[in-house]
Chains A and B, each alone.
Chain A
């Protein structure tokens, strides 16, 4: 389920500020600088996140044609993670430690040797595991200054905000009662008032005779 079809589950954001002149070209360049790349296991990385085409998670070479659609800018974030199943890893580790003890003719290994075996095993096994791939679509209505991000997962949204702001150098704010007040007419007055009042007790007994 994403921007192009299916039910809609999104987190809505307000965009703060104007887009620069020539933003289409600027933004495409910026996205290509932050595009998705495969996880680099040699650097002991477990995950990777970056921009890809909204129609193809394996296409990280963005062009204006793939990104711009009338008033809308559309792309996806691809987030890959390599995870070793905990129980399976535990069994492999026990086996590896047993083999090392036998090879070295000792009953016990030092903590450093155990850590060393664990780290080596982890690196080897990660090369054999397919990373999980998740993509989350972004649709940005530029004149409306609003965008939707296709997930409500809190952690992914935090990562998205960081990536978005780093890429586009524009701040975004999640939609909520406060940010809605900021967008309304007389926002200063409304916000000041909202910060003065306290929650009402809706279940209290009504007063007789009306107000």
Chain B
């Protein structure tokens, strides 16, 4: 399989990742463990869900907590997956806002935590450091998803738990 086809074939992992992230955030009070840190991940402001396959149908939910809306839950029930999400990420005293797109697990409209440095040069280093920290957090979350997703036995349990969550079954 050539590179373009490999990229296209595996693109579904981005959508499953964001949907899994919603499930995990919702069921674990937003808390994730990354190395020795506890990271909070919440879904803010805007959530986009799209149908899979040839059907071009989408729901764009704009609300303070879009994942709590009936519209978002109904979209999940019809089989739509998250293709774009606005996240709020908190580590210790630092908070980022970022829009994540499933197709390239890319960050856009990132609002960085307030800078603590005073000098221009130090501020620029701090800015890039904070950007990299956000990238690292997102990468670590994706890696956690992959560890579960690409293992048959862990995914069997996880997907059943996700389905129970979607259908609101204990």
Contact = CB atoms under 8 A, between A and B. Distances in A.
A180 B7 CA distance: 10
B163 A203 contact: yes
B104 A210 contact: no
Contacts of B110: 7-10
Nearest to B80: A203
Interface in A126-181: 139, 141, 144, 146, 148, 152, 174-181
State the majority secondary structure of interface residues on B. Answer: helix
Contacts of A177: 10-11, 13-14, 17, 105, 142
B143 interface: yes
Interface string B147-170: 001100101110111111011010
Contacts of B71: none
Find the residue from B1, B160, B167 having the highest chain A CB count within 10 A. B160
Contacts of A178: 6-7, 10-11
A47 B78 CA distance: 47
Find the residue from B6, B14, B125, B150 having the highest chain A CB count within 10 A. B150
B16 interface: yes
Given A180-B139, A203-B77, A203-B78, A9 B104 contact: no
Contacts of A146: 132, 135
A4 B6 contact: no
Interface in A1-35: 4, 7-12
Interface in A99-149: 139, 141, 144, 146, 148
Given A4-B124, A199-B12, A210-B157, 15 more contacts: A10-B106, A148-B131, A176-B103, A177-B14, A178-B10, A178-B11, A181-B10, A181-B146, A194-B10, A195-B1, A202-B79, A203-B78, A203-B79, A206-B164, A211-B156
Interface of A: 4, 7-12, 69-70, 72, 139, 141, 144, 146, 148, 152, 174-181, 184, 190-191, 193-195, 197, 199-207, 210-211
28 contacts: A7-B109, A8-B107, A8-B131, A10-B106, A12-B135, A69-B124, A70-B125, A175-B106, A177-B11, A177-B105, A178-B7, A178-B10, A180-B142, A181-B10, A190-B150, A193-B150, A194-B9, A194-B10, A194-B13, A195-B10, A197-B149, A200-B16, A202-B79, A202-B163, A202-B166, A205-B167, A206-B160, A211-B156
